[in-house]
């Protein structure tokens, strides 16, 4: 094995979190920092080659290669886990920028009650309302503690939004750095109808810029062109905040940060309770050891858990005994795209962007009384105008059309193309003792290491929530003037073949003490103080909102804690 020159810090993964921490430490300290990324290099100019929907959006050009590494899945411990052969339910990123290159850019803040979910639910409804087999817990931090970092993250990305438009949002210390995007027609129709029903619709905060913006690092990005090729693509003009157009220009000037691509990390080295560095395989297939004083995992939800399990750091969760924390509390937004509206008029759905969305939060979190209801927590309901790409959006005539093939079907499918749109229900997913990650005893990756095994199924709380929200969304759809509505209130069993979101969370959760979590309030490992783990793997359960602004805020908070406290006095920050 080759020994690489010693570094002060090694960061595993060059996505949003890894590059943000590298930029912060690179700017504020003289530390030598190595970022190791398994995928290849990327830059904005790469995206000028065009918008090939088949290549990028259907065949997942930018995502993790399942022939080298995948995940096995089973709904319950009684089922046999099998490898996922094509990612669909969630889309792990790879290469510089990670999934932050091909994300949508929806950037809401979490509502204050999310962080204290367990305490607040018990206070309002009593412990008896917590669902069977739940493993809910508070995060160990409050919205108030994270608020200044939300503001910094919004300024870094230039988030376009309208302060005060969402009355359920927590208090803000500053407005949005840029005004909201122009709202596309379908989303405007939704906002009007929702308002007429007494809801409080608002534009989704967006990392697709409404106007040219210079961030506090001096990085300038142009306004969005509403091309509609955002989700699953990199932005060819740089209007969507991505790690490559927002963080890399700064890192490129930092002589103390090196970025190594093609470096697949397989283990965290450790001795006597201290991390010593990481073992990786480089692009030539050679095994290397990168020694470092501080080790940071920023390898997204799947590999944050997997690397801890493979490296035998902390105790793996055992659902039979409830002991161990690594791998537990995995959650995946309860996302239903099941409500399709058919209109008589064209919707001009070609115009759009990844975060061109109107939604309302009246039925989110605990913003409404759950007294007589058969579930806790909630969802935000929204009308997206992502831009109707031809392959994903063709071929759905309304339910009244009986033909299912041939000329008749084709005529109706063409007619329906720009007259059809979906409402989305993005619901919270509670944590349960039965949903977890562990190492698969059968299947291995290209290097011979066990794959991560995911055991996941919805419970009654999610099923009841979706049934309730579907009825509410249909009411708004009717008020929008839809001629026909196709929707199902039934949440089907967790299906790895249906895209939900890439908001898979948990596995290395944070908490108030080592008896209930893997990480402390600063995302520092409880037992190994020179190991930090960034990203949504720290979330104890899944809020309904998109996670990235929150993980960026948390990363900035961790950066402050490392610079202001850890470097002065290494050891536990808790």
Ligand X SMILES: Cc1cc2nc3c(=O)[nH]c(=O)nc-3n(C[C@H](O)[C@H](O)[C@H](O)COP(=O)(O)OP(=O)(O)OC[C@H]3O[C@@H](n4cnc5c(N)ncnc54)[C@H](O)[C@@H]3O)c2cc1C
User: Looking at the annotation, which residues are catalytic?
Assistant: 503
Q: Which of positions 454-483 make contact with ligand X (CB under 6 A)?
A: none
Task: Characterize 392-407 residue by residue with b for buried, 16 or more Cβ atoms within 10 angstroms of its Cβ, and e for exposed.
Answer: ebeebbbeebeeeeee
Partner that binds at residue 260, options ligand SF4, ligand X, none, CB closer than 5 to 8 Å by kind: none
- Identify which of residues 206 and 530 has a Cβ nearer to ligand X in the complex: 206
Partner that binds at residue 235, options ligand SF4, ligand X, none, CB closer than 5 to 8 Å by kind: ligand SF4
Considering the rule CB under 6 A, would residue 16 count as an interface residue with ligand X?
Answer: yes
Q: In angstroms, what is the minimal distance from the CB of 265 to ligand X? A: 4
Q: In angstroms, what is the minimal distance from the CB of 262 to ligand SF4? A: 27
Partner that binds at residue 506, options ligand SF4, ligand X, none, CB closer than 5 to 8 Å by kind: none
- Residues in contact with ligand X, counted by CB under 6 A, come to a total of 41
- Identify which of residues 141 and 236 has a Cβ nearer to ligand SF4 in the complex: 236
Residue given tokens 């989303």 in the structure block: 187
Question: Where on the chain is the footprint of ligand SF4 (CB under 6 A)?
Answer: 208, 224-230, 235, 237, 239-240, 353-354
Q: In angstroms, what is the minimal distance from the CB of 62 to ligand SF4? A: 13
Q: How many CA atoms lie within 13 A of 111 on its CB side?
A: 24
Partner that binds at residue 112, options ligand X, ligand SF4, none, CB closer than 5 to 8 Å by kind: none
Q: How far is Cα 220 from Cα 328, in angstroms, rounded to an integer?
A: 41
Q: Among 26, 75, 105, 158, which residue interacts with ligand X (rule: CB under 6 A)? A: 105
Q: How far is CA 154 from CA 105, 249, 352, 417, in A?
A: 12, 18, 21, 35
Q: In angstroms, what is the minimal distance from the CB of 400 to ligand X? A: 32
Q: What's the helix, strand, coil split of the chain in %, to 5?
A: 25, 25, 50
Residue given tokens 């050009």 in the structure block: 61
Q: How far is Cα 172 from Cα 150, in angstroms, rounded to an integer?
A: 9
Q: In angstroms, what is the minimal distance from the CB of 133 to ligand X? A: 27
Q: How far is Cα 157 from Cα 165, in angstroms, rounded to an integer?
A: 20
Q: Which of positions 251-290 make contact with ligand X (CB under 6 A)?
A: 263-265
Q: In angstroms, what is the minimal distance from the CB of 376 to ligand X? A: 23
**Token pair listed for 215:** 């961030």
Contact segment (CB under 6 A) with ligand X among 104-112, 174-182, 342-350, 360-368 equals 104-112
Q: How far is Cα 466 from Cα 483, in angstroms, rounded to an integer?
A: 23
Helices and strands counted in the chain (H then E): 12, 22
- Closest chain position to ligand X (CB): 15
Q: Rg (Cα) of the chain, in Å, rounded?
A: 23
**Token pair listed for 25:** 């430490």
Residues 420, 343 contacting (CB under 8 angstroms):
yes
Considering the rule CB under 6 A, would residue 18 count as an interface residue with ligand X?
Answer: yes
- The three-point CA angle 184-189-194 to 5° equals 125
Q: Determine how β-strand 264-271 pairs with β-strand 357-360.
A: unpaired
Considering the rule CB under 6 A, would residue 384 count as an interface residue with ligand X?
Answer: no
Considering the rule CB under 6 A, would residue 180 count as an interface residue with ligand X?
Answer: no
Residues 84, 64 contacting (CB under 8 angstroms):
no
Q: How many other CB atoms are found less than 10 A from the CB of residue 337?
A: 16
Where are the alpha helices (H) located in 89-134, listed in sequence order?
117-125
Partner that binds at residue 298, options ligand SF4, ligand X, none, CB closer than 5 to 8 Å by kind: ligand X
Q: Among 10, 106, 519, 559, which residue interacts with ligand X (rule: CB under 6 A)? A: 106
- Identify which of residues 134 and 240 has a Cβ nearer to ligand SF4 in the complex: 240
Considering the rule CB under 6 A, would residue 316 count as an interface residue with ligand X?
Answer: no
Considering the rule CB under 6 A, would residue 44 count as an interface residue with ligand X?
Answer: no
Q: How many other CB atoms are found less than 10 A from the CB of residue 57?
A: 20
- Identify which of residues 228 and 477 has a Cβ nearer to ligand SF4 in the complex: 228
Considering the rule CB under 6 A, would residue 91 count as an interface residue with ligand X?
Answer: yes
Partner that binds at residue 208, options ligand SF4, ligand X, none, CB closer than 5 to 8 Å by kind: ligand SF4
How far, rounded to the nearest angstrom, does the alpha carbon of residue 303 sit from its chain's CA centroid? 14
Q: In angstroms, what is the minimal distance from the CB of 485 to ligand X? A: 25
How far, rounded to the nearest angstrom, does the alpha carbon of residue 463 sit from its chain's CA centroid? 22
- Identify which of residues 70 and 178 has a Cβ nearer to ligand SF4 in the complex: 178
Residue 422: which H helix or E strand, with range? strand 420-427
Q: How far is Cα 535 from Cα 547, in angstroms, rounded to an integer?
A: 9
Q: Which of positions 349-378 make contact with ligand X (CB under 6 A)?
A: 355
Q: Which of 265, 104, 97, 295 is nearest to 181 (CA)?
A: 104
Partner that binds at residue 98, options ligand X, ligand SF4, none, CB closer than 5 to 8 Å by kind: ligand X
Considering the rule CB under 6 A, would residue 535 count as an interface residue with ligand X?
Answer: yes
Q: Which of positions 227-246 make contact with ligand X (CB under 6 A)?
A: 231-232
Considering the rule CB under 6 A, would residue 500 count as an interface residue with ligand X?
Answer: no
- Residues binding ligand X (CB under 6 A): 12-18, 36-39, 91, 93-95, 98-100, 102-107, 231-232, 263-265, 298-300, 303, 355, 502, 535-536, 546-548, 551
């Amino acid at each position: 094995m080759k020994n690489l020159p010693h570094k002060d810090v090694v960061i595993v993964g060059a996505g949003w979190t890894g590059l943000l921490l590298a930029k912060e430490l690179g700017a504020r300290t003289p530390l030598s920092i190595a970022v190791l990324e398994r995928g290849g290099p990327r830059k904005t100019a790469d995206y000028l080659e065009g918008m090939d929907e088949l290549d990028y959006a259907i065949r997942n050009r930018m995502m993790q290669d399942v022939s080298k590494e995948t995940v096995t899945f089973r709904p319950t411990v009684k089922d046999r886990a099998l490898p996922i052969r094509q990612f669909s339910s969630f889309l792990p990123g790879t290469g510089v920028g990670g999934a932050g290159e091909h994300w949508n850019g929806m950037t809401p803040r979490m509502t204050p009650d999310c962080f204290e979910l367990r305490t607040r639910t018990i206070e309002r409804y009593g412990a008896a309302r917590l669902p069977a087999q739940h493993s809910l817990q508070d995060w160990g931090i409050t919205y108030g503690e994270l608020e200044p970092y939300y503001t910094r993250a919004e300024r870094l990305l230039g988030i376009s939004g309208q302060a005060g438009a969402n009355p359920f949002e927590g208090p803000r210390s500053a407005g949005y750095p840029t005004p909201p995007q122009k709202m596309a027609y379908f989303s405007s129709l939704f906002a009007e109808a929702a308002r007429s029903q007494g809801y409080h619709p608002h534009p989704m905060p967006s990392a697709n810029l409404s106007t040219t913006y210079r961030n506090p690092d001096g990085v300038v990005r142009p306004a969005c062109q509403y091309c509609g090729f955002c989700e699953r693509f990199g932005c060819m003009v740089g209007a969507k905040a991505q790690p490559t157009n927002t963080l890399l220009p700064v890192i490129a000037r930092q002589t103390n940060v090196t970025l190594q691509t093609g470096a697949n990390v397989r283990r965290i080295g450790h001795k006597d309770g201290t991390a010593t560095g990481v073992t990786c395989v480089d692009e030539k297939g050679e095994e290397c050891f990168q020694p470092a004083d501080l080790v940071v995992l920023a390898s997204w939800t799947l590999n944050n858990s997997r690397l801890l399990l493979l490296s035998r750091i902390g105790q793996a969760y055992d659902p039979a005994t409830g002991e161990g924390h690594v791998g537990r509390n995995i959650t995946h937004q309860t996302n239903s795209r099941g409500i399709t509206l058919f209109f008589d008029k064209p919707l001009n759905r070609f115009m759009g962007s990844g975060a061109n969305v109107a939604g309302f939060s009246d039925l989110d979190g605990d913003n409404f009384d759950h007294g007589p209801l058969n579930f806790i927590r909630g969802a935000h309901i929204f009308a997206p105008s992502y831009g109707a790409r031809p392959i994903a959006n063709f071929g759905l005539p309304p339910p009244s059309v009986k033909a299912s093939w041939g000329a008749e079907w084709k005529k109706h499918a063409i007619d329906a193309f720009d007259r059809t749109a979906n409402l989305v229900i993005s619901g919270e997913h509670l944590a349960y003792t039965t949903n977890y990650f562990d190492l698969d005893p059968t299947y291995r990756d290209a290097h011979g290491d066990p794959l991560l095994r995911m055991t996941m199924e919805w419970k009654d709380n999610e099923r009841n929530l979706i049934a309730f929200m579907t009825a509410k969304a249909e009411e708004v759809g009717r008020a929008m003037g839809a001629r026909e509505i196709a929707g199902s209130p039934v949440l089907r069993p967790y299906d790895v073949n249906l895209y939900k979101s890439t908001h898979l969370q948990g596995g290395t959760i944070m908490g108030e003490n080592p008896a209930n979590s893997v990480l402390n309030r600063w995302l520092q490992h409880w037992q190994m103080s020179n190991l930090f783990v960034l990203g949504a793997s720290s979330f104890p359960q899944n809020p309904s909102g998109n996670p990235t602004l929150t993980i960026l805020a948390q990363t900035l908070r961790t950066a402050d804690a490392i610079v202001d406290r850890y470097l002065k006095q290494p050891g536990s920050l808790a």
